[in-house]
């Protein structure tokens, strides 16, 4: 039996372009979901009208290629990577990419939380020991209960 390939995760926050409206967001999400499906990437996006916070997870090369596309988008700027590295499991396997509105204060708390020791990706840790991921997962599970 072969082991399943390792899962990588990357989280970042960014500032949206000033003229972004709902149809822009819809366009981003439709394209993002299609690309992510092809790359076997899942994840979630929070938006407060100004700041994006996105979590991507999947095979290393899939996450890297998706993040390359994201970095090239003119619809946001000032991208701050919060964490990047191997993780023990997929947390958002239900969503090729879903977006929820969140309060600015919550996004700030998630961004400010400890995500990982910068020099040591949280390889052996789980969400319990990763305050940024834990806050994000808690918010998500209340907003969007998993489908069974
Ligand atoms: C906040 C944000 C999140 C995005 N998420 C993804 C994603 O998950 N997967 C993906 O392939 N592209 C993602 N993109 C890229 C867009 O789908 C699209 O390629 C890009 O917006 C098109 O370039 P443009 O915005 O400069 O017109 C994202 C872009 C933004 C601004």
- 103 and 48 in contact (C-beta within 8 Å)? yes
pLDDT of residue 79: 98
CA of 70 to the centre of ligand 1 (A): 5
| Count of all residues that appear for the chain in the document | 148
pTM, full prediction: 0.90
- Please state the rounded mean pLDDT for residues 2-8: 81
What the block records as the tokens of 129 is: 């020991």
pLDDT band at 123 (very low <50, low <70, confident <90, very high): very low
- 42 and 92 in contact (C-beta within 8 Å)? yes
Whole-angstrom Cα distance, residue 48 to residue 105? Answer: 9
CA of 75 to the centre of ligand 1 (A): 8
Beta bridge partners of 120: 117
Pick the CATH number of 7-143 from 3.30.70.100, 3.40.50.12780, 3.60.20.10, 1.20.120.160: 3.30.70.100
pLDDT at residue 133 tops 70: yes
Q: Which of 12, 30, 31, 42 to mutate to test the pocket of ligand 1 (most atoms within 8 A of CB)?
A: 31
DSSP 127-146: GGG-HHHHHHHHHHHHHSPP
- Please state the rounded mean pLDDT for residues 54-68: 97
pLDDT at residue 132 tops 60: yes
Q: Find the residues whose C-beta lies inside 6 A of ligand 1.
A: 28, 31-32, 35-36, 45, 52, 54, 66, 69-70, 73-76, 97
What the block records as the tokens of 23 is: 């149809």
């Amino acid at each position: 039996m072969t082991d399943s390939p390792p899962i990588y995760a990357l989280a970042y926050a960014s500032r949206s372009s000033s003229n972004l409206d709902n149809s822009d967001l819809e366009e981003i999400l439709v394209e993002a979901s299609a690309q992510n499906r092809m790359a076997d990437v899942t994840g979630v996006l929070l938006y407060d009208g100004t700041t994006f916070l996105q979590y991507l997870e999947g095979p290393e090369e899939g996450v890297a290629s998706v993040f390359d596309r994201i970095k090239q988008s003119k619809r946001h700027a000032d991208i701050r990577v919060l964490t990047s590295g191997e993780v023990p499991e997929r947390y958002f396997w239900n969503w090729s990419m879903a977006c929820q509105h969140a309060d600015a204060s919550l996004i700030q708390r998630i961004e400010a939380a400890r995500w990982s020791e910068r020099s040591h990706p949280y390889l052996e840790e789980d969400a319990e020991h990763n305050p940024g991921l834990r806050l994000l997962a808690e918010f998500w599970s209340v907003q969007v209960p998993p489908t069974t």
